[in-house]
A and B are shown apart, each in its own frame.
Chain A
Amino acid sequence: MIPANRIVGKQVQFMITCLCDTFYDHVAQASVELLEQVGCLVDVPDGQTCCGQPAFNAGDWESARKVIRHTLRTFTGDQPIIIPSGSCAHMVFHGYQLVFENGTDAEKEAARTLAGRTWEICDFLVNGLGIQTWHGRFDGKISLHRSCHTRGSNTYSAALQLLRSIDGVEILEFDESEQCCGFGGTFSVAYPNTSAAMGTLKIDKLTAVKPDLIGAVDMACMLHLSGLAEKQKRPFRKMHVVEILLQALRNAPTNPPVIHS
């Protein structure tokens, strides 16, 4: 599903993702700063909007295709595309190919090419750039939520590897780590009872081990989990993995060096 020989390089394009564009600008900003710290030149194509996943998951593939065609037109060139979301990356790897199953050869080719350039950011750091350990310090016990759409990808293991290599970080083991946060896009509003029950259970499990913060590789899961937790008056501290990595560099006793692979 994920193409074998994806394009690597330090001149990269950044996909903001609609959620970071709307709610989580600090995650997008941290991602760009992080990429620069590891020596990348980051371009953010201005015309980008959303990857198209909401419509795809809702079953409205016609609308999804419309948005995907736009994305294919926006991310031109042959640079790697870096995404701070396992879910949007999954969409490119999987959904993009599926909606053009009966499409033209050109569409299929474009979808395949885009997948061959696409990286979730943690996967890119470890498996694209070959960074094996991280520099700096971060003090905290972390429950790292395993976002579902990273199944079958290297994202979760990459994130764990980097976090574990940071001085001061403790990764907590918690029960039912394979279970979903209950978001599922439009599922969250079409199945409001089931979705909220799933999320509540997830928060129980994530917080049972008393973490200092909950980490994630996808802000969609965070949108749901923190939204629920706030409503239930039990908010928690949350960080995207890129924020933790960046913070670790900033906490380093020496000035953060540019990390070369």
Chain B
Amino acid sequence: MKTSQPIDAFGRDLSQEVKESVYSSSKAKYDKRIGALNAGYIAPDSLRKLAGQIKQHTLENLPSYLESAIGKLEANGAKVHYAKDGEEANATILGIMNAAGATKLIKSKSMVSEEIHLNAFLENNGCESVESDLGEFIVQLDHDMPSHIVTPIVHKNRQQIATTFEKMGLGDYNDDPTTITRRARTYLRKKYLEAEVGLTGANFVSAESGRIVLVTNEGNARFSICANRIHIVLVGIEKLVPRDKDLALFLNLLARSATGQQLTVYTQFINGPKAPDQIDGPGEMHVVFLDNGRSEILAGEFQSILRCIRCGACLNVCPVYRQTSGHAYRAVYPGPVGAVLSPLLAGKRYPEFADLPKASSLCGACNEVCPVDIPLPELLLRHRNKSKLEHIQKASAGTPPLGGWAVLCSTPSMWKSTLTLGKVMDYVPMKLVPVPAVQAWTQTRTLPPFRGGKFRGWYKEHRKHDSGNNQ
């Protein structure tokens, strides 16, 4: 069907195979999530609300929590950097590598590094940057983009992966998942040993202790910081939690919301670089706090999106994401969280992404599952209002203008006469009505018979009858 919205078109043209795998993996994760939450807690909903409040409190006091975290990290022996945007963050990371004479970096999964296109930047500057998360590794081999923030290759099947492995010289074609994993493992083991620098993100940073918290299911974050000299942590400034003990709540919610696990397989708490009495580990640790538009978001009406702990639950439950896949959103963060965040992170290029907040029926399922209770539908609505005020064509394409309707609805006499006149609509062949919205509706749906004014007529009679009875 004709459509003026790119996400709708993307979903329409998506292969049945990809659609099926996105749908079934989303549904499976949603079901597991519910199971895990209900098995573990009597009132999981109140935990979500609590986590949301803690994160909101953190955001409202971010400068002081950041200061505290930085103080602790430095006291623990880490070097702390602040990067105002992606360019600065990339330059900082390259600077650290250059200063150490390092050219080989191994990475554990980090959405922030996707956000600033770190891999491409390092490669352009003569460095090697290897993804160690299996999904991200496959994305990197394919020069593809992740389509989900937790499970980056939901859009791929194992046949495609096997073909890629064959092409990249990782062995003959073999699409057995165990073989695929073993091959990646053999390849990556070498890379772990060769790398001079290990780069990770951070799922949480405790303001109280400066502890960096990392969760993975493959143990690759731990491996990434075992055999090398330097550990670089790249983290958004919003990833703070006030106290160590808050982590109990967040780690439990994150794993359950993301994958339906009670806890991820590996959880690392990293205090700082190797202490003199420790046998191994990187002797140098850098923490790069990335702003990249976050301060601006913090100060505005979209603040609560910064509570996000990147669990992906809002993607998994979203009916639009399920129909269209992550790549439809043309940005690093897809789904409802992406529809809110991506236009904001785009800065001056906001208009290019102004259609994203329209990719929602505002059903509210995302808010219902969000472990930090972000009012995602409200934020989508705020974007729509903003785009309308700024006359951004990309957002309004396909949406019928409603100015005339508003006049009708604030003029009762007009409303009532339209109701009674509307009867003629029943005799108009809808195919011929030259209004795009009507056509878009009637291509796949019928309209019920027009009954305008009938209720009002009934009610008038009913009241007459009633008052008659009362006399």
Contact = CB atoms under 8 A, between A and B. Distances in A.
B446 A180 contact: no
Nearest to A179: B319
A180 B409 contact: no
Contacts of B386: 59
A49 B455 CA distance: 13
Given A50-B409, A191-B5, A227-B448, A21 B402 contact: no
Given A32-B459, A179-B365, A184-B361, A190 B399 contact: yes
Interface stretch (B107-115, B212-220, B273-281, B437-445): B437-445
Interface in A219-242: 223-224, 226-228, 230-231
B317 A178 contact: yes
Given A21-B455, A179-B319, A49 B363 contact: no
Contacts of A149: 364
Given A21-B456, A22-B450, A190 B378 contact: no
Q: Which of A28, A48, A66, A187 has the largest count of B CB atoms less than 10 A from its CB?
A: A187
A187 B381 CA distance: 12
A16 B320 contact: no
Given A59-B385, A186-B399, A46 B451 contact: no
A60 B7 contact: no
Interface in A182-207: 182-199, 201
Interface string B105-141: 0000000000000000000000000000000000000
B27 interface: yes
Interface residues of A, number: 71
B273 to A, nearest CB: 46
Given A149-B364, A187-B361, A191-B358, A227 B446 contact: yes
B41 interface: no
A111 interface: no
Contact of B362 (A184, A192, A226): A184
A176 B11 contact: no
Given A50-B409, A57-B381, A59-B385, A227 B447 contact: yes
Interface of A: 16, 18, 20-25, 28-29, 32, 44, 46-50, 52, 54-64, 66-67, 69-70, 74, 94-95, 98, 148-149, 151-152, 176, 178-180, 182-199, 201, 223-224, 226-228, 230-231
Interface of B: 1-5, 7-9, 11-12, 27, 317, 319-320, 323-324, 358-365, 367-368, 378, 381, 383-388, 395-403, 405-410, 412, 415, 419, 422, 436-437, 440-441, 443-456, 458-459, 462
6 contacts: A22-B451, A23-B450, A44-B456, A49-B410, A148-B361, A194-B7
Given A16-B455, A23-B450, A184-B361, 7 more contacts: A60-B403, A182-B319, A182-B361, A192-B8, A193-B12, A196-B445, A228-B445
